């Protein structure tokens, strides 16, 4: 167990140390972005990697949570912490309703329905100008706990994000090892057999959906607090696609994959915005290339590479053990 | 009364455009189990290509034909070179078609810029007709008629011709179709060309109504998906019924509750899915 935890602890510690070595808050903020993206990607990975349900509307969870917290803490007049809690609860409640629709299907039907659901919420955010501010979004979202923690300082905010990320890793790691997590992978590989064995496939998928929604909502809260601004763009198709890219590029079904994928996509996006302005096209080409070259993602690809290297190295000759004679 | 008549005609026009988009998507889905998420982008590409041809001084009809052929050819190339090697696997397929959609959409933005542009209707169809008290643009009536003609043509093709019989056979059982000598490979490419050409044609025909702008694909694709979810994937009848249903709900939603027009689309989806997860006329989604 500790051997598995160690790399994650090192990675989180390294990210937490960025403010100590970085010269400008730019890198600190970039690390916060990676952490927030990673929380979202970990959530989507429950669906894509472990439940075999390919959602193309994942941005709806962070989007709902971010809009709720933004609206509650600006227009609604709640303080930031209770707004955050209400937003979490509200997102989970709406997600529960969405589950009733989305979990009616699997496969490509699920892809289409999740995409349509996300577009409907996007449309509401975009068109319902009197409440959501339309294309301008809602700005001036206050960060919570200003009296206790100076969260307006980038390094303190980063540490908050890393704490949530740590929690997500811990909770999901334990969940994937639990009997329920194993049953979930069972429903991914052999839903009919699982059903025949007496498992309630729908209910297991529902748990996965709500877990994904919960961590998506957490990422959405942090997103709203980080930018202190929400806009419909965070629920556009490209936003859902970016999270999916993080999961697939890193390696769906692994715990480290979404983390690596999130770091890659966020860094690529930031680098791309410096040199070229065609992020969407780059995203498209990345998809095509990944599908053609590395369909399983980086983490499984790395494991395969290591296995291939191990095969290249001539293995040691078997030790000479004197055989006992049968007739001895 | 006038309001209801003219809005109903608008709904029929939108429904017709959605049918052109969704029928191709649905045909491709039914035959190959490919959800072509680049369909909206191809619709938009068709609209831009049509606009470019019109601007180059050719007529509207040449533009419609050229855009349909060009987009159809592009679709065929996509199928042959990229989609084919993915087999029936869902996730790679989704990523690939989505990636192509992004590339096409961004290429359109790069070529034609971000400003909305208006595709002028052909001169013989400009102007308006009086129906009772309602004044109605002649072009929209043409769209209603043209989409009905496309629907009829597709139905005849699928139900009454030899090629249609081959398509139906391959939809039911590809292996068996191959065994009796149908070249499924050619059929797949042909249907992909046909489906994407319909999207391109729809883009040009829709251009004068919807106008041509960079996020047109993201506005149309979800509507087409809803049509397919409602009507059932792989069914022409489903695409027909679903397209006009969504056309009516969306048009009246926009007029009566403009803020929540999108949210209202959620309602038929819940209603249909709670009764029939595979859609009204669909087979089980794999």
Residue pLDDT, tens place only, A214-262: 999 999 999 999 998 999 999 988 899 999 999 988 888 888 999 999 9
Closest residue in chain B to residue A49, using alpha carbons only: B91
Chains A and B: how many Cβ contacts under 8 Å? 142
For residue A123, the chain B residues in CB contact (below 8 A) are 261-263, 265
Query: How far is B251 from chain A, CA to nearest CA, in Å?
Result: 14
Within a domain: A321: no
Flag whether residue A120 sits within 8 Å of chain B, measured between CB atoms.
Answer: yes
Within a domain: A92: yes
Angstrom distance (rounded) from CA B30 to CA B172: 9
For residue B92, the chain A residues in CB contact (below 8 A) are 291, 295
Neighbours of A24 (CB within 10 A): 9
* A8-17, A20-29, A308-317, B144-153: the lowest-pLDDT one: A308-317
Structural domain count, chain A: 1
Closest residue in chain A to residue B25, using alpha carbons only: A112
Owner of token pair 């096409």: B104
Element holding B128 (H helix, E strand) = strand B128-131
Interface of A with B in 133-192 (CB under 8 A): none
pTM of this structure: 0.88
Within a domain: A134: yes
Q: What is the DSSP annotation of B233-249?
A: TT-HHHHHHHHHHHHHH
Which residue out of B109, B285, B286 would a mutagenesis test of the A interface target, given it has the greatest number of A Cβ atoms within 10 Å? B285
Residue A158 has a pLDDT of 92
For residue A105, the chain B residues in CB contact (below 8 A) are 273, 277-278, 285
The dihedral region occupied by A134, where left means phi > 0, alpha psi between -120 and 50, and beta the remainder, is left
For residue A285, the chain B residues in CB contact (below 8 A) are 99, 103
Burial of A321 (0-12, 13-18, 19+ CB in 10 A): exposed
Angstrom distance (rounded) from CA B50 to CA B66: 7
Q: Cβ(A54)–Cβ(A48) under 8 Å?
A: yes
Within a domain: A271: no
Query: How far is B127 from chain A, CA to nearest CA, in Å?
Result: 31
Burial of A325 (0-12, 13-18, 19+ CB in 10 A): exposed
Cβ pair B273:A281 closer than 8 A: no
Within a domain: A317: no
For residue A120, the chain B residues in CB contact (below 8 A) are 222, 262-263, 265-266
Which residue out of B33, B40, B88, B95 would a mutagenesis test of the A interface target, given it has the greatest number of A Cβ atoms within 10 Å? B95
Rg of chain B (C-alpha set): 19
Angstrom distance (rounded) from CA B19 to CA B150: 9
Query: How far is A315 from chain B, CA to nearest CA, in Å?
Result: 36
Residue B86 has a pLDDT of 84
How many residues in total does chain B contain? 286
Share of chain A above pLDDT 90, in %: 47
* A265-274, A296-305, B123-132, B221-230: the lowest-pLDDT one: A296-305
Name the residue among B103, B228, B262 with its Cβ closest to that of A112.
B228
The dihedral region occupied by B117, where left means phi > 0, alpha psi between -120 and 50, and beta the remainder, is beta
Name the residue among B82, B261, B269 with its Cβ closest to that of A116.
B269
Q: Cβ(A48)–Cβ(A244) under 8 Å?
A: yes
Q: What is the DSSP annotation of A241-266?
A: HHHHHHHHHH-TT-SHHHHHHHHHHH
Q: Mean pLDDT in chain A? A: 87
Is the pLDDT score of A326 beyond 60?
no
Neighbours of A302 (CB within 10 A): 15
Cβ pair B270:A248 closer than 8 A: no
Q: What is the DSSP annotation of B16-57?
A: HHHHHHHHHHHHHHHHH----TTHHHHHHHHHHHHHHHHHTT
β-pairing, A229-230 with A138-139?
Answer: antiparallel
Question: In whole angstroms, what separates CA B209 from the centre of its chain?
Answer: 15
Within a domain: A242: no
Residue A319 has a pLDDT of 64
How crowded is the C-beta side of B18, counted as CA atoms within 13 Å? Answer: 32
Flag whether residue B107 sits within 8 Å of chain A, measured between CB atoms.
Answer: yes
Interface of A with B in 242-301 (CB under 8 A): 244-245, 248, 252, 278, 280-281, 283-288, 290-292, 295
Burial of B63 (0-12, 13-18, 19+ CB in 10 A): buried
Cβ pair B225:A115 closer than 8 A: yes
Q: What is the DSSP annotation of A90-107?
A: HHHHHHHHHHHHHTT--H
Is the pLDDT score of A295 beyond 80?
no
Q: Average pLDDT for residues A118-143, to the nearest whole number?
A: 87
Residue A193 has a pLDDT of 94
Under DSSP, the state recorded for A50 is I
φ/ψ of A149, rounded to 5, equals -120, 135
Residue A189 has a pLDDT of 92
Within a domain: A173: yes
Flag whether residue A70 sits within 8 Å of chain B, measured between CB atoms.
Answer: no
Within a domain: A132: yes
Range of the domain at A206: 5-235
Cβ pair A56:B98 closer than 8 A: yes
Closest residue in chain A to residue B37, using alpha carbons only: A112
Interface of B with A in 177-206 (CB under 8 A): none
Residue A112 has a pLDDT of 86
Q: Average pLDDT for residues A36-47, to the nearest whole number?
A: 95
Q: Average pLDDT for residues A40-65, to the nearest whole number?
A: 94
Residue A324 has a pLDDT of 57
The ipTM assigned to this model is 0.85
**Higher pLDDT among residues A57 and B286, named by residue:** A57
* Model confidence pLDDT, tens digit, residues A312-322: 766 666 566 65
For residue B250, the chain A residues in CB contact (below 8 A) are none
Residue B284 has a pLDDT of 53
Under DSSP, the state recorded for B125 is G
Cβ pair B94:A56 closer than 8 A: yes
Name the residue among A111, A119, A281 with its Cβ closest to that of B106.
A281
Q: Average pLDDT for residues A51-71, to the nearest whole number?
A: 94
Cβ pair B222:A127 closer than 8 A: no
Cβ pair B263:A120 closer than 8 A: yes
With b for 16 or more beta-carbon neighbours within 10 A and e for fewer, the B98-126 pattern comes to bbbbbbbbbbbbeebeeeeeebebeeeee
CA dihedral sign of residues B40, B46, B49, B54: negative
Cβ pair B274:A291 closer than 8 A: no
Angstrom distance (rounded) from CA B76 to CA A39: 39
Residue B111 vs residues A210, A254, A273, A282, B48: alpha-carbon distances, Å: 42, 40, 20, 16, 9
Q: Average pLDDT for residues A186-207, to the nearest whole number?
A: 94
Cβ contacts of A94 within 8 Å, gap of 6 or more: A64
Nearest residue to A163 (alpha-carbon basis) of A147, A142, A149? A149
Per residue of chain B (286 residues), what is the pLDDT tens digit?
788 888 898 999 999 999 999 999 999 988 888 889 999 999 999 999 999 999 999 999 999 999 999 999 999 999 999 988 887 788 888 889 999 999 999 999 999 988 999 899 888 888 888 877 778 888 999 999 999 999 999 999 998 999 999 988 888 888 899 999 999 889 999 999 999 999 999 999 999 999 999 989 988 998 999 999 898 888 889 999 999 999 999 999 988 888 888 888 878 888 888 788 788 887 654 4
> Which tokens in the block code for residue B71?
């987009």
Name the residue among A113, A120, A248 with its Cβ closest to that of B265.
A120
Query: How far is B283 from chain A, CA to nearest CA, in Å?
Result: 11
């Amino acid at each position: 167990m500790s051997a598995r935890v160690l790399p994650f602890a090192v990675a989180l510690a390294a990210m937490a140390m960025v403010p100590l070595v970085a010269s400008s808050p730019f890198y600190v903020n970039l690390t916060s972005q990676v952490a927030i993206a990673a929380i979202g990607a970990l959530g989507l990975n429950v669906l894509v990697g472990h439940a075999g349900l390919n959602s193309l509307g994942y941005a709806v969870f962070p989007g709902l949570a971010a809009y709720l917290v933004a609206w509650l803490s600006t227009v609604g007049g709640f303080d930031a912490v209770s707004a955050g809690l209400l937003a979490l609860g509200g997102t989970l409640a709406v997600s529960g309703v969405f589950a009733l629709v989305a979990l009616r299907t699997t496969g490509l039907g699920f892809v289409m329905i999740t995409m349509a659901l996300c577009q409907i919420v996007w449309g509401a955010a975009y068109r319902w100008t009197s409440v959501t501010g339309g294309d301008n979004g809602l700005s001036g979202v206050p960060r919570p706990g200003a009296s206790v923690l100076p969260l307006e300082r980038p390094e303190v905010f980063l540490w908050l994000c890393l704490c949530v990320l740590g929690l997500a890793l811990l909770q999901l790691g334990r969940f994937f090892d639990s009997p329920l997590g194993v049953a979930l992978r069972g429903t991914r590989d052999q839903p009919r057999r699982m059903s025949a064995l007496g498992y309630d496939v729908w209910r297991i998928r529902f748990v996965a959906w709500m877990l994904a929604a919960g961590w998506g909502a957490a990422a959405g809260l942090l997103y709203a607090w980080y930018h202190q601004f929400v806009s419909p763009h965070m629920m556009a198709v490209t936003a859902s696609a970016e999270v999916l890219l993080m999961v697939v590029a890193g390696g769906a079904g692994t715990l480290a994959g979404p983390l690596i994928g999130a770091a890659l996509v966020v860094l690529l996006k930031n680098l791309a915005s410096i040199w070229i302005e065609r992020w969407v096209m780059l995203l498209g080409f990345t998809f095509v290339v990944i599908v053609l070259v590395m369909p399983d993602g980086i983490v499984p690809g790395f494991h395969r590479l290591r296995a291939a290297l191990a095969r290249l190295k001539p293995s040691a000759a078997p030790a000479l053990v004197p055989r006992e004679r049968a007739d001895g | 009364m006038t309001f209801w008549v003219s809005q109903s005609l608008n709904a029929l026009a939108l429904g017709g455009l959605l049918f052109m988009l969704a029928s191709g998507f649905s045909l491709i889905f039914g035959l190959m189990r490919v959800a072509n998420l680049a369909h909206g982008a191809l619709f938009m590409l068709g609209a831009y290509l049509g606009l470019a041809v019109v601007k180059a001084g050719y007529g509207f009809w040449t533009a419609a034909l050229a855009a349909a052929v060009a987009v159809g050819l592009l679709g065929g190339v996509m199928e042959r070179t990229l989609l084919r090697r993915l087999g029936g696997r869902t996730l790679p397929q989704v990523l690939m078609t989505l990636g192509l959609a992004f590339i096409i959409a961004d290429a359109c933005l790069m070529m034609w810029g971000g400003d909305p542009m208006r595709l002028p209707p052909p001169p013989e169809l400009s102007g308006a007709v009086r129906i009772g008290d309602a004044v109605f643009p002649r072009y929209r009536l043409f769209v209603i008629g043209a989409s009905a003609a496309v629907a009829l043509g597709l139905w005849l093709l699928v139900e009454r011709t030899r090629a249609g019989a081959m398509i139906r056979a391959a939809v039911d059982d590809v292996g068996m179709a191959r065994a009796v000598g149908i070249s499924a490979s050619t059929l797949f490419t042909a249907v992909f060309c046909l489906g994407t050409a319909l999207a391109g044609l729809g883009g040009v025909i829709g251009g004068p109504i919807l106008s041509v702008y960079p996020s047109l694909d993201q506005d149309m694709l979800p509507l087409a998906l809803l049509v397919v979810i409602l009507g059932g994937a792989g069914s022409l009848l489903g695409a027909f019924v679903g397209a006009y249903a969504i056309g009516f709900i969306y048009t009246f939603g926009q007029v009566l509750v403009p803020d929540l027009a999108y949210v209202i689309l959620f309602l038929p989806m819940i209603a249909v899915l709670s009764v029939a997860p595979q859609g009204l006329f669909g087979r089980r989604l794999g």
